[in-house]
Amino acid sequence: MNRNITTFFTINILLGTIIAISSNNWFLIWIGLETNTISILPILLSNNNRRNTEASIKYFIIQALAAAIILNSALINVWNNGSWIINTPMNNVSSITIIIALFFKLGIAPFHFWFPEVINGINLTNGLILTTWQKIAPTIILINNNNNNSNIIIICTTISIIIGSWNGLNQTQTRKIMAFSSINHLGWIILISMFNQNISIIMLLIYIIINTAIFINLIINNTTNISNTNKNNITNPWNASTLSILLLSLGGLPPLTGFINKFISLNTIINSNNTIISIPLIIGSLISLFFYLRISFNTNLTNFPQNSIILINLRNNNNNNINSILNTISITGIIITPIIINFIN
């Protein structure tokens, strides 16, 4: 795709998200979401192959369906209350359908069936966009509009945490693992927004930073399968160590940065006298940590026989600048975790 065209669509993606999260009018929110969806499709289709085209069509159908549900639900609310304002009290039908539509956009269970297949059908760069930037607008809208039907949100997000953890166990494709990881973490973020919206925003920011660093690492080494992660330790030891730290951080292993998400989540739920809800969250967190550990094991603790001459040549082709940036992010995360926890408390 032409560079100017790519820049144009990228700017539209940014504007669509900004319009959606900064508006208090349902019609403007719908326009922002549609602008975002229409602009991302040409970028997804830039790689012309069957799997990529199939994934793009699936993504378009789901996003168009969700946007249509949001617009129709907003129209029903306008007929009843005469207002497009997002804070206007909504009837149960409109509120439930809008929540379901946003769950479709986010890939929250039981509306997650499309997300892993779409992520697995596109390249790693587009997967990074779909699992980070494309999640911002629906998440912020849902956080600002979760006052009603709290039981539905709690049930769906809890199921999402369990399903995202359980289905990631038998995956070998790194893109599918990151897709189920996204389903799991967004369940945490949306659930905590029921109790404290500010903490939910902090969790979203931390998740985006860690997830972006992991995808950058995978893109640099073209790692699409768990079996390929082993070559990182041979060709790029520093990068392999960084990937392990980032994955364990995403899994919530203390004292890494991702532990903040799990710590403040459980602390918020327990302080709200909802200890029972924390039980499936802890179970899901432990299950998801298993497949993060499996990738880390394959990256650093397993070595296959290799030709020593090939090893020397490959090690001389390292991208030291990018490795230094990734290692700095990881080490900084380890250092600032206790500081952030003390600041929150």
pLDDT string in tens for the chain (345-residue length): 678 888 899 999 999 999 999 988 899 999 999 999 999 999 988 877 888 899 999 999 999 999 999 999 989 888 888 778 887 778 888 888 999 999 999 999 889 989 999 999 998 999 999 999 999 999 999 988 766 677 889 999 999 999 999 988 888 888 999 999 999 999 999 999 988 888 899 899 989 988 998 898 888 888 888 877 776 666 666 777 788 888 888 888 887 888 888 888 888 888 888 888 888 888 888 888 888 888 888 777 655 444 444 343 444 444 545 555 555 555 555 545 555 555 555
Q: Are 157 and 108 in contact (CB under 8 A)?
A: yes
Token couple for 72:
């129709």
Would you state the pLDDT for residue 312?
39
Neighbours of 307 (CB within 10 A): 9
Q: Are 107 and 182 in contact (CB under 8 A)?
A: yes
**DSSP assigned state of 253:** -
User: Dihedral of CA 39/44/47/48: which sign?
Assistant: negative
- How many Å apart are CA 112 and CA 100, to the nearest integer? 11
Would you state the pLDDT for residue 345?
52
Would you state the pLDDT for residue 308?
41
Contacts of residue 256, defined as CB under 8 A and 6 or more positions apart, other chains included, come to 245, 248, 249, 333, 334, 337
- How many Å apart are CA 191 and CA 185, to the nearest integer? 10
Burial of residue 271 (CB within 10 Å: 0-12, 13-18, 19+) is: exposed
Q: How many CA atoms lie within 13 A of 257 on its CB side?
A: 24
- How many Å apart are CA 326 and CA 249, to the nearest integer? 13
Q: Are 211 and 179 in contact (CB under 8 A)?
A: no
Would you state the pLDDT for residue 47?
78
Would you state the pLDDT for residue 306?
46
- How many Å apart are CA 193 and CA 146, to the nearest integer? 8
Q: At what angle do helices 124-131 and 197-221 cross, to 10 degrees?
A: 180
- How many Å apart are CA 273 and CA 249, to the nearest integer? 27
Which contacts (CB < 8 Å, 24+ apart) does range 266-269 have? 268/192, 268/195, 268/196, 268/199, 269/192, 269/195
Contacts of residue 335, defined as CB under 8 A and 6 or more positions apart, other chains included, come to none
Q: Are 154 and 108 in contact (CB under 8 A)?
A: no
Would you state the pLDDT for residue 61?
93
Token couple for 144:
């600002």
- How many Å apart are CA 169 and CA 171, to the nearest integer? 6
Q: Are 315 and 240 in contact (CB under 8 A)?
A: no
Q: What letters, b where the CB count within 10 A reaches 16 and e where it falls short, cover 171-210?
A: beebbbbbbbbbbbbbbbbbbbbbbbeebbbbbbebbbbb
Q: Are 223 and 197 in contact (CB under 8 A)?
A: no
